[in-house]
Amino acid sequence: MKKTFKIILLSFLLVMACAVGWVTYQFNTYKPKTITQTMNPENLAYFKETYVDCRKSFLDEAQKHKGLHKDIEISGIAVESSVDPDLSIDYCYIPAQQSFERLFILTSAVHGIEGYVGSAVQQMFLRELVKDINLNDMGLLIIHAVNPSGFKNYRRVSENNADLDRNCSTEDGLYLSENKGYNELNLFLNQRQKVSLTSFGNFFFPLNAIQKILKYSMGTLRQAILQGQYQHEKGVYYGGHKLEPSIIAVTPLIREISEKYKMIFSLDLHTGYGQNGTLHLFPSPLKDAKKKAEIENIFSGLRIDWGDTNDFYTVTGDFTSYLEQILPEKHYLTMTFEFGTLDTKTTMGSIKALHNVMLENQGVHYGYKTRKDETQVKSRFLESYYPSSDAWRSKVIEDSRQVLSQALEEYVKTTVEDQP
Ligand SMILES: [Zn+2]
């Protein structure tokens, strides 16, 4: 009897050890699925490695439109900073050439580091698509680097550690709101010591994460972590304690230009969420059936992630909802493009993505144990939002070209009846 018990116990321990070994191995060697689509080298020309180069290329592309359209405006807005005097939100505004029916706003780098891809898409838009757009009744406002500090320093957040997509609101109540689910997870999410990739906790991170998934469920956990929080200023997904300088700087520009138009359609460019190399259409939840139908028409034939899948989450203080708040009298439509990188719809992919965000944040606030840790954490973080793969980059441009030209062809036909 004793012997049987021993065998069962040993088998159980062996199975457990194998499972732990398997999960840890999978996690530490994790790679998203490779992209099979053929690469077009011409698409790669849009990608640059520094904020300064992206900014220059964007402005160069914009300058090429000078003289082609009436009253074009190319300029920049300085962003207040305590450490960097050279942060600018640049823009190119091509007004509707005859009547001010509708405006299209294309923004990049609300999450700074995602601006490398956003900038590439904006450059492509200016170089390839604008010439075929009917500008009689439609204006274009292309805003480069909403968060120039994060863009320049390869961070998602601002220099105040604020996530601009959790920071935007016309009401201060947002900054007093409490995310109770996050508070419970604070110690798990935000370690307060130097980063060491070889530490026990980091090596076995997936086991800790899986234990949390079993305790709370994936959906609850995702919502609590990602929705935004306003209590832990050194924590991940911190939304700030007041409106960030970038948002304060860009608000009057958007208000003033939108003023003349009846209808606004804003599209915000992001990376990092979803399947590797896939363009996800990820709007804010929308109750208005008419607007929903209009968006579905603009992107007809394409899958829109309306929040009916179980990997869905909502955020507080997002940028595109804020634009709706500051333009209350306008017929406002919005969409977010998310170019997936780490297959975050899989459990392992989402754990990996979260770990990358946590380690980068921890490194910024508490430093790194070794130079090697620092290099690895930063390179993994960059790879999560700006993959080095040529196939990935080429596909982003290919998909954007196709989806943006279709969207604008449809948007130009969308009309809004005059308010009585
Ligand atoms: Zn983003």
At residue 420, the pLDDT reads 37
| CA separation for the pair 130, 106 (Å, rounded) | 12
At residue 84, the pLDDT reads 96
Q: Residue 271 C-alpha to ligand 1 middle, in angstroms?
A: 5
Q: Residue 272 C-alpha to ligand 1 middle, in angstroms?
A: 7
Q: Residue 292 C-alpha to ligand 1 middle, in angstroms?
A: 22
Q: Angle, to 10 degrees, between the axis of helix 390-411 and the axis of helix 115-124?
A: 60
Q: Residue 274 C-alpha to ligand 1 middle, in angstroms?
A: 11
Q: Residue 93 C-alpha to ligand 1 middle, in angstroms?
A: 23
Q: Residue 269 C-alpha to ligand 1 middle, in angstroms?
A: 7
Q: Residue 137 C-alpha to ligand 1 middle, in angstroms?
A: 31
| Residues 392, 277 contacting (CB under 8 angstroms) | yes
Q: Residue 79 C-alpha to ligand 1 middle, in angstroms?
A: 20
Q: Residue 114 C-alpha to ligand 1 middle, in angstroms?
A: 6
- Is 366 exposed, middle or buried, given 0-12, 13-18 or 19+ CB atoms closer than 10 A? middle
SS (H, E, C) the chain: CHHHHHHHHHHHHHHHHHHHHHHHHHHHCCCCCCCCCCCCHHHHHHCCCCHHHHHHHHHHHHHCCCCCCCCCEEEEEECCCCCCCCCEEEEEEECCCCCCCEEEEEECCCCHHHHHHHHHHHHHHHHHHHHHCCCCCEEEEEEECCCHHHHHCCCCCCCCCCCHHHHCCCCCHHHHCCCHHHHHHHHHHCCCCCECCCCHHHHCHHHHHHHHHHHHCHHHHHHHHHCCECCCCCCCCECCCCCCHHHHHHHHHHHHHHCCCCEEEEEEEEECCCCCCCEEECCCCCCCHHHHHHHHHHCCCCCECCCCCCCCCCCCCCHHHHHHHHCCCCEEEEEEEEECCCCCCCHHHHHHHHHHHHHHHHHHHHCECCHHHHHHHHHHHHHHHCCCCHHHHHHHHHHHHHHHHHHHHHHCCCCCCCCC
**Nearest of 109, 71, 104, 103 to residue 90 by alpha carbon:** 109
At residue 419, the pLDDT reads 43
At residue 203, the pLDDT reads 86
Q: Which residues contact 239 (CB under 8 A, 6 or more apart)?
A: 162, 163, 166, 167, 174, 175, 228, 229, 230, 316, 317
Tens digits of pLDDT across the chain (420 residues): 678 889 888 998 898 888 888 888 888 889 999 898 889 999 999 999 999 999 999 999 999 999 999 999 999 999 999 999 999 999 999 999 999 999 999 999 999 999 999 999 999 999 999 999 999 999 999 999 999 999 999 999 999 999 999 999 999 999 999 999 999 999 999 999 999 999 999 988 999 999 999 999 998 999 999 999 999 999 999 999 999 999 999 999 999 999 999 999 999 999 999 999 999 999 988 889 999 999 999 999 999 998 766 667 889 999 999 999 999 999 999 999 999 999 988 999 999 999 999 999 999 999 999 999 999 999 999 999 999 999 999 999 999 999 999 999 999 999 876 443
| Residues 183, 256 contacting (CB under 8 angstroms) | no
| Residues 121, 269 contacting (CB under 8 angstroms) | yes
| CA separation for the pair 269, 363 (Å, rounded) | 26
Give CA 112 to chain center in angstroms. Answer: 9
| CA separation for the pair 91, 77 (Å, rounded) | 8
CA pseudo-torsion sign 318, 169, 381, 49: positive
Q: Residue 336 C-alpha to ligand 1 middle, in angstroms?
A: 9
Q: Residue 213 C-alpha to ligand 1 middle, in angstroms?
A: 23
At residue 311, the pLDDT reads 67
At residue 308, the pLDDT reads 66
Q: Residue 227 C-alpha to ligand 1 middle, in angstroms?
A: 13
| Residues 316, 228 contacting (CB under 8 angstroms) | yes
Q: Which domains does the chain have, with CATH numbers?
A: 47-173+240-344+384-411 (3.40.630.10)
Q: Residue 270 C-alpha to ligand 1 middle, in angstroms?
A: 4
Token pair 């990188």 is at which residue? Answer: 341
Q: Residue 190 C-alpha to ligand 1 middle, in angstroms?
A: 20
Q: Residue 99 C-alpha to ligand 1 middle, in angstroms?
A: 34
Q: Residue 405 C-alpha to ligand 1 middle, in angstroms?
A: 22
Q: Residue 409 C-alpha to ligand 1 middle, in angstroms?
A: 26
**Nearest of 96, 125, 97 to residue 402 by alpha carbon:** 125
How much is the pTM?
0.95
| CA separation for the pair 269, 339 (Å, rounded) | 8
